[in-house]
Amino acid sequence: MAKAASKNAKVKDLKASAEAKNWTKVIRAERNPKTGAYSFKEGIVHKDKVKDYLSSK
């Protein structure tokens, strides 16, 4: 018979998943001035800081 997961372990996972929902993966295209080719930069940013991340260079 398998062991049942403890109640505390489930609570910790719910808290972690609730905090993880506040973060967003952002992909920004940047153009190389020499060649004109685009490269993509990825970042994990808090959802409140997305506009700041996209506007910065």
Strand blocks (E) in 1-57: 23-31, 38-46
What is the per-residue pLDDT across 5-46, written as a single tens digit (0 to 9) for each?
A: 666 556 667 777 778 889 999 999 999 999 999 999 999 999
The backbone torsions φ and ψ at residue 37, rounded to the nearest 5 degrees and listed phi first, read -80, 150
Residue 52, classed as helix, strand or coil, is: helix
The confidence score (pLDDT) of residue 23 equals 93
Euclidean distance between CA atoms 52 and 57, whole angstroms: 10
Better-predicted residue by pLDDT, 48 or 11: 48
The confidence score (pLDDT) of residue 3 equals 63
31-47: buried (b, 16+ CB within 10 Å) or exposed (e) per residue? eeeeeeeeeeeeeebee
Euclidean distance between CA atoms 22 and 20, whole angstroms: 5
State pTM to two decimals. 0.59
The confidence score (pLDDT) of residue 20 equals 83
The confidence score (pLDDT) of residue 56 equals 83
